[in-house]
């Protein structure tokens, strides 16, 4: 007698003749619908398995059926006494099969579950290893570049992919910027990602040229690349002092640049790394002017889908890139828009990698110096000395960090002391200067002491004008909205807004003039007569 426990694809025997009954064999369907013991010698079927059973001397086949599914069979050869199987024998076998089939099915399910658990544990372990590899190779800190703001984001999907970004220190103060994506997921992709970064880090300082670096990386990675796997990569070299970027592309998404005239692409083409030998990667150049930003990204952002199956897409990203925000806020804005697009409960399909750089640039000033401004800002703060009746009282540049609003206030108060302005009006001016400088530090400099706030105090005819200029990391400061406490508590007005309203009511006139991504807040106090600044503050 043989006990037969089939796999899903076929019915093998555990002992006795190794005879499998294929699912497409006519005997399989017959046994699945049989009501009891089947006599193999009397059965008439066109069945290869039946022929094998007869050749092996099998007399009876007892189907094991659980919930209508054939899960096995008992094979019985001739009795040792050479007598035929009796009716009682057949009835006993039928009863035995009815009791054994459910137990065997339970055992099969337990075994299948154990195999699934082991497979899941192996997969989870693989994901942990892949995640660890990626985390170890991502930069631990961002480069600190004067007159530049750098931001980066990496968001892994559940099934770890091969996204990566890197910053590579190069000779002469230049920096290499890398964003890449390895096809496939899991440990193989993570290992290729790590290998690619190692190659780029080793070759970039030695070779220099982006095109040559990618060509060299392609030749090194080609013999090591697993089948059906490759790496897309964009490599860019930045000269921080000039804003010049030189870049080459190995099949990666094109970077977007926000300029004063709109959003443009840095076009460059080339085959992904590790596909074909002897590839050339054309090299291109561009210059980022002060206030301009560049975004490098992987396809996890643009290829995200909402519940309706619509894709986030390149046009949407390009439109969002036009928003005048500093690098850190730009990335937050993109992710907020992505989460709003995909909705709650989103199952992230792929890694998301974002790298943004903004050239804050601008000019540095010390007390007594005339500012050497950029062309876009020159019209905003033209020297009062060049105007009829104009006189320069102060030129200062303060680090953009919290607390320097008091320094700005004190310097302005000292500069206007000779004008004999009434003490109460000086106090109002100091309050306005402090609030305006605080806004410039918080929003324009993002509390970064390397990004200054500029102060200019001039007498222009019968007016005293104080100009506070920031580098605009958060975009235009906007207009002053009449605050309403009830509306703010109800959420109908933004919680902020009192500062700008206060400034407006502390001086005789306030004007906000944008220039590039920054702005200048001009505070005017009339020198003859009390002017509008004498009325009390309301609200």
**pTM of the entire predicted model:** 0.49
Rounded Cα distance between 317 and 216, Å, is 32
Q: Beta partners for 194? A: none
Q: Considering the domain boundaries, does residue 247 fall inside one?
A: yes
Q: Are 6 and 70 contacting, i.e. CB atoms less than 8 angstroms apart?
A: yes
- Regarding whether 289 and 207 lie in a shared domain, the answer is yes
> What is the torsional sign of CA 402, 370, 387, 394?
positive
pLDDT of residue 313: 93
Q: Are 396 and 455 contacting, i.e. CB atoms less than 8 angstroms apart?
A: yes
Instruction: Give the structural domain span for 240.
Output: 138-359
Q: Are 286 and 259 contacting, i.e. CB atoms less than 8 angstroms apart?
A: no
pLDDT of residue 387: 43
Rounded Cα distance between 427 and 424, Å, is 5
- Regarding whether 386 and 341 lie in a shared domain, the answer is no
- Regarding whether 387 and 314 lie in a shared domain, the answer is no
Nearest CA to 256 among 266, 244, 246?
266
- Regarding whether 148 and 74 lie in a shared domain, the answer is no
Q: Considering the domain boundaries, does residue 244 fall inside one?
A: yes
Other C-beta atoms within 10 Å of 8: how many? Answer: 10
Local structure of 491: helix, strand or coil:
coil
pLDDT of residue 185: 73
- Regarding whether 266 and 385 lie in a shared domain, the answer is no
pLDDT of residue 378: 28
Our CA angle for 146, 148, 151, nearest 5°, is: 125
Rounded Cα distance between 199 and 270, Å, is 18
Rounded Cα distance between 367 and 452, Å, is 13
pLDDT of residue 111: 86
> How far, CA to CA in Å, does 30 sit from each of 8, 25, 40, 94?
17, 9, 12, 16
The CATH number linked to 98 is 3.30.450.40
Residue with structure tokens 């700008």? 500
- Regarding whether 478 and 403 lie in a shared domain, the answer is yes
pLDDT tens by residue, 175-200: 999 999 988 777 777 788 888 988 99
The one-character DSSP state at 138 is S
pLDDT of residue 380: 31
Taking phi over 0 as left and psi of -120 to 50 as alpha, with beta for the rest, 251 belongs to left
- Regarding whether 495 and 397 lie in a shared domain, the answer is yes
Residue with structure tokens 């953009």? 400
- Regarding whether 105 and 231 lie in a shared domain, the answer is no
Q: Considering the domain boundaries, does residue 352 fall inside one?
A: yes
Phi, psi of 6 (to 5 degrees): -80, 150
Q: Considering the domain boundaries, does residue 125 fall inside one?
A: no
Local structure of 121: helix, strand or coil:
helix
Task: Dump the DSSP string for 61-119.
Answer: EEEEEETTEEEEEEEE---TT-PPPPHHHHHHHHHHHHHHHHHHHHHHHHHHHHHHHHH
Rounded Cα distance between 455 and 453, Å, is 7
Domain count, the chain: 3
pLDDT of residue 126: 63
Q: Which of 306, 326, 359 is the C-terminal boundary of a domain? A: 359
Local structure of 11: helix, strand or coil:
strand
The CATH number linked to 191 is 3.60.40.10
Alpha helices by DSSP H, 365-449: 375-378, 404-415, 423-439
- Regarding whether 146 and 96 lie in a shared domain, the answer is no
Q: Are 54 and 45 contacting, i.e. CB atoms less than 8 angstroms apart?
A: no
- Regarding whether 312 and 223 lie in a shared domain, the answer is yes
Residue with structure tokens 């109460």? 424
pLDDT tens by residue, 98-107: 888 888 888 8
- Regarding whether 181 and 64 lie in a shared domain, the answer is no
Q: Are 218 and 199 contacting, i.e. CB atoms less than 8 angstroms apart?
A: no
Q: Considering the domain boundaries, does residue 300 fall inside one?
A: yes
Tokens of 93: 């076998």
pLDDT of residue 344: 83
> How far, CA to CA in Å, does 70 sit from each of 64, 98, 104, 335?
6, 12, 11, 53
Rounded Cα distance between 335 and 343, Å, is 12
Helix H or strand E segment including 521: strand 518-526
Q: Which of 359, 392, 408 is the C-terminal boundary of a domain? A: 359
Q: Considering the domain boundaries, does residue 330 fall inside one?
A: yes
Q: Considering the domain boundaries, does residue 117 fall inside one?
A: no
Q: Are 229 and 274 contacting, i.e. CB atoms less than 8 angstroms apart?
A: yes
SS (H, E, C) 276-296: CCCCCCCCEEEECCCCCEEEE
Beta-sheet pairing, 463-469 with 293-297: unpaired
pLDDT along the chain (539 residues), means of 10: 44 57 89 88 88 89 87 87 86 87 84 82 66 67 90 77 87 92 79 87 90 96 91 95 94 93 92 94 93 93 90 94 88 92 81 92 34 29 43 87 87 90 90 88 84 90 92 54 47 48 82 79 79 36
- Regarding whether 149 and 69 lie in a shared domain, the answer is no
Rounded Cα distance between 380 and 365, Å, is 16
Q: Considering the domain boundaries, does residue 130 fall inside one?
A: no
The CATH number linked to 503 is 3.30.565.10
């Amino acid at each position: 007698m043989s006990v037969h426990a089939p796999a899903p694809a076929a019915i093998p025997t555990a002992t006795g003749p190794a005879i499998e009954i294929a699912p497409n064999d006519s005997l399989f369907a017959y046994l699945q619908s049989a009501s009891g013991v089947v006599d193999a010698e009397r059965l008439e079927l066109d069945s290869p398995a039946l022929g094998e059973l007869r050749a092996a001397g099998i007399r009876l086949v007892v189907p094991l059926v659980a919930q209508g599914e054939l899960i096995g069979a008992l094979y019985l050869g001739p009795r040792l006494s050479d007598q035929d199987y009796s009716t009682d024998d057949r009835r006993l076998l039928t009863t035995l099969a009815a009791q054994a089939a459910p137990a065997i099915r339970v055992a099969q399910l337990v075994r299948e579950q154990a195999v699934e658990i082991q497979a899941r544990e192996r997969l989870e372990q693989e994901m942990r290893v892949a995640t660890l590899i990626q985390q170890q190779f991502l930069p631990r800190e961002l480069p600190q570049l004067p007159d530049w703001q750098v931001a980066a984001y990496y968001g892994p999907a559940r099934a770890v992919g091969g996204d990566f970004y890197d910053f590579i220190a190069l000779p002469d103060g230049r920096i290499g910027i890398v964003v890449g994506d390895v096809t496939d997921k899991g440990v193989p992709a993570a290992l290729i990602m790590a290998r690619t970064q190692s190659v780029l880090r080793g070759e970039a300082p030695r070779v220099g040229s982006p095109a040559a670096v990618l060509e060299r990386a392609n030749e090194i990675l080609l013999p090591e690349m697993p089948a059906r796997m490759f790496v897309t990569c964009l490599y860019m070299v930045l000269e921080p002092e000039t804003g010049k970027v030189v870049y080459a592309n190995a099949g990666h998404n094109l970077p977007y640049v926000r300029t004063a005239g709109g959003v443009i692409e840095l076009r460059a083409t080339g085959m992904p790394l590790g596909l074909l030998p002897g590839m050339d990667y054309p090299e291109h150049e561009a210059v980022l002017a002060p206030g301009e930003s560049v975004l490098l990204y992987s396809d996890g952002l643009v290829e995200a889908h909402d519940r309706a199956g619509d894709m986030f897409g390149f046009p949407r990203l390009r439109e969002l890139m036009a928003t005048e925000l500093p690098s850190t806020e730009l990335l937050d804005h993109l992710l907020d828009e992505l989460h709003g697009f995909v909705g709650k409960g989103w199952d992230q399909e792929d890694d998301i990698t974002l790298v943004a750089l903004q050239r804050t640039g601008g000019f540095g000033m010390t007390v007594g110096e005339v500012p050497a401004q950029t062309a876009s800002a020159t019209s905003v703060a033209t020297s009062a000395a060049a105007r009829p009746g104009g006189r320069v009282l102060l030129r200062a540049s303060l680090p953009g960090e919290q607390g320097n609003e008091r320094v700005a206030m004190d310097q302005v108060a000292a500069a206007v002391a000779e004008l004999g302005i009434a003490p109460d009006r000086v106090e109002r001016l100091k309050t306005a200067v402090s609030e305006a400088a605080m806004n410039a530090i918080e929003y324009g400099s993002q509390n970064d002491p390397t990004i200054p706030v500029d102060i200019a105090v001039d007498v222009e005819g019968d007016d005293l004008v104080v100009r506070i200029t920031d580098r605009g990391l958060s975009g235009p400061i906007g207009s002053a909205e009449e605050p309403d406490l009830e509306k703010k508590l109800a959420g109908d007005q933004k919680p902020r807004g009192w500062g700008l309203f206060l400034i407006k009511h502390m001086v005789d006139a306030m004007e906000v003039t944008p220039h590039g991504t920054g702005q200048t807040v001009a505070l005017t106090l009339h020198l003859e007569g009390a002017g509008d600044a004498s009325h009390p503050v309301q609200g």
